[in-house]
Amino acid sequence: MSFLSLTDRDREEMLAAIGVASVDELFREIPEGVRFQGELDLEPALSELELVAHLEQLAARNMDTGRELSFLGAGIYDHYVPAAVDAVLARGELLTAYTPYQAEMSQGVLQAIFEYQTAICELTGMDVSNASGYDGTTVAADACYVAKHVTGRARVVLAETVNPQVRQVVKTYAPGFGLEVVEVPHRDGVTDPDELGAAAGEAACVIFQQPNFFGCLEPAPDLAAAANDAGALPIAHVDPVSLGVLEAPGEYGCALAIGEGQGAGNYQSYGGPHYGFIAARSEYVRRMPGRIVGETTDIEGRRAYVLTLQTREQHIRREKATSNITTNQTLLALAGLVHLSWLGPQGLREQAETCMALAEHAKERVGLPLLFPDQTTFKEFAIRVGRPAEDAIRAARARGVHPGYALKRDYAGMEDALLVCLTEKRTPADIDRLAEALAA
């Protein structure tokens, strides 16, 4: 199969117009020594039918959450994606557009981004959002870069209760940014504000997560206050679904709010593509990374949208840009916008409450000791299974249930701990199966 339109006759006419005898001649300026000889060692071309059959075979060898009853979360969630999201994303104009450099050709996608920015600001209580970042990990690195330039400080403080993948990405970026990374350990599953404040003394920013990686509710206002007192920018990493019931970071003094958008509108997709969001108070707008859409008018005074504040960006500022980002995740952010519009404020709150109620029910029904019994949790909680976590996972999976994530992969001393996640897609009957599988 190929997607080419040129016929032999087209080729002849085109070569004649160019004034060369063959297609090979078009490559004559490539030095002989660097030309590839022979044929690429790739498997033969497939027809569309063969291709579908091949990929169906590969897909069938994955245990997706339709085949295995899953309680996996830990940053990526099996939330329901409404049919309206699929319908909008199937619109070819939106699917196959490039970045909206030419505003007159792109009013639809520009307006959608503006509406997305509004939704993110409403969720987080911030003044400005960009058009999206790659995912919930890279926006944390982006936020550190903002903080470094705003404060002139060279240290980043991470609560140990922040998603380990987020922390790993920040640590990978930090040397290039000239930043040192300090981590603050958890105390009984949450972060101690005094300890965080002490570490924040010379820091550009402090990143904490609400709800945190263990599902526990952090004393977020106290953490933000501790960072502010130390002159470090408080940055909250938040789950958009939780913001139906939990306070917006902008309301408790955060400078920036970031997060993984996947749970609002994107499928799990083995880790991507998804969208990360980054939003800030207005004073930091000129340090924001990536695309931002603003409202304006056309020459006739009609409302119009356009990429704006581009003097921050790499194609104008080059080595002085606030970020190197060009491609972002607009299509996935659009899915987020459709999803949040489908939910509305009432739907978002109901969804959050349903997850929370199911999680609370699961804690009791499973009946295993909680790792952090004194904490309020959102849709995830950690339990002790009384044996190596991988053994419990293996035994449960043999019964068609994936019971959760083994915390020992990231935390010392949690050999028998399992992080269990409940979304609105699970039912009390599913929870019964979980309890039975964990008892096996």
CA distances from 19 to 7, 9, 22, 25, 98 (A): 18, 15, 9, 10, 33
Per-position x/- string for 47-86, each x denoting binding to other proteins as judged by CB under 8 A, each - no binding: -x--xx-xxxxxxxxxxxxxxx-x-x-xxx-x-x-x-x--
Binding positions for other proteins, 324-363, rule CB under 8 A: 324-332, 334, 338, 340-351, 353-354, 356-358, 360-361
- Least spacing, CB of residue 10 vs other proteins, in Å: 4
CB of 153 to other proteins, least distance (A): 16
Contact in structure between 133 and 329 (CB atoms under 8 Å): yes
**CA-CA-CA-CA dihedral for 390, 392, 393, 395, to nearest 10:** 120
**359 vs 297: CA distance, rounded Å:** 48
Residues between 110 and 129 with contacts to other proteins, criterion CB under 8 A: 111-115, 117-119, 121-123, 127-129
Q: Which of 52, 86, 80, 53 is nearest to 65 (CA)?
A: 80
Q: Does 429 bind other proteins (CB under 8 A)?
A: no
Counting contacts by CB under 8 A, is residue 398 touching other proteins?
A: no
Token pair of 430 as six digits? 């599913």
Question: How far apart are CB 48 and other proteins at their closest, in Å?
Answer: 5
Does the footprint of other proteins cover residue 314 (CB under 8 A)?
A: yes
Closest CA to 235 of 263, 265, 260, 257: 257
**Residue 98 neighbours by CB under 8 Å, 6+ apart:** none
Write down how long the chain is. 440
Among 69, 136, 199, 261, binds other proteins (CB under 8 A): 136
Closest separation in Å from C-beta 303 to other proteins? 7
Residues 200, 230, 241, 293: which binds other proteins (CB under 8 A)? 293
Nearest to 356 by CA among 373, 379, 372, 375: 379
Residue 33 in the binding site for other proteins (CB under 8 A): yes
Sites for other proteins among residues 160-199 (CB under 8 A): 165-166, 168-169, 171-173, 175-178
Residue 292 · residue 277 · CB < 8 Å: no
Kindly tell me the burial class for residue 381, based on how many C-beta atoms sit within 10 Å of its own C-beta (0-12, 13-18, 19 or more): buried
Q: How far apart are CA 116 and CA 341, in angstroms?
A: 10
Window of 152-160, 188-196, 224-232, 239-247 that interacts with other proteins by CB under 8 A: 239-247
Contact segment (CB under 8 A) with other proteins among 105-113, 154-162, 197-205, 226-234 equals 105-113
Out of 194, 198, 231, 296, point to the residue binding other proteins (CB under 8 A): 296
**Is 399 an interacting residue with respect to other proteins (CB under 8 A)?**
no
265-284 residues in contact with other proteins (CB under 8 A) are: 267-273, 282
